[in-house]
Amino acid sequence: MKIGDKLVYPMHGAGEITKIEENEVGGVKNSYYIMRLPVGEMKLMLPVDKVEEVGLRELIKPEQIEEVAKVLQAESESLQISWNKRYHMNLERLKTGSIFDAATVARNLTRQNSKKKVSSGEKKLLDLSRQILITELVYVCEKTPEEITAWVDEQIGID
C-alpha cells in the first residue's frame, strides 16, 4: 500500500491513505498508515503490520454500482424479532466490511426508521451503515457525499 491508495476499512468506511508516519503508542514505536475518510473528515491510524488483520479491502469496481443499487431497491427484510437481536444481527453484517451488507443494513434501518423511529443503538448503526456505504461510493462514483447521499435515498425510496 502506498500514499494515495483508496481502501475500505470495515466498520468505518472508505478512505485514502494520506501519509505513512512513525508514532509511539503505549511505549511501542510503529509505522502507521494515516487514512482520511471523505465524510466527517475523520482520520484513522492503521498499524502497517496489522493491515491484514483489520480486513482492509480494495474499493468495489464501478460495474458493481448497479448491484449496490439492486440491494438498496430490494424489499426490506421483515424481521419480527426484538430490536436488540436485530441490532446484533446488523452489527455482525457491518463487521464483514462488505458494501452489500452495509447497503442491506442501511436499506432496512432507513425504511424502519421512516415508519417507526428505531432505538438509539440502531440509529447509530443506521448512521454507520450509511457512512460505510457513502464513503466508498464517493470514491467509486467520483461524486460528492451530498450527491451520493441523495442517490442512496432515491434508491431506497426515501424522499
Instruction: Just give the CATH number of 6-58.
Output: 2.40.10.170
Max distance between CA atoms of the chain, in angstroms, equals 51
Query: Once rounded to an integer, what is the mean pLDDT over residues 2-18?
Result: 91
Pair 125, 104: CB distance under 8 Å: no
Q: Is the pLDDT of residue 47 over 70?
A: yes
User: Exposure pattern of 60-86 as b/e (b: 16+ CB <10 Å)?
Assistant: beeeeeeebeebbeeeeeeeeeeeeeb
Pair 86, 112: CB distance under 8 Å: no
- pLDDT at residue 159 in the model: 62
Q: Which three cell numbers stand for residue 130?
A: 450509511
Which residue shows C-alpha cell 494515495? 4
- pLDDT at residue 78 in the model: 72
Q: Which of 2-16, 71-85, 102-116, 123-137 has the lowest mean pLDDT?
A: 71-85
Q: Is the pLDDT of residue 10 over 90?
A: no
For the chain, what are the domain ranges?
Answer: 6-58, 62-156
- 62-156, superfamily in CATH? CarD-like, C-terminal domain (1.20.58.1290)
- pLDDT at residue 139 in the model: 94
pTM of the predicted protein model:
0.86
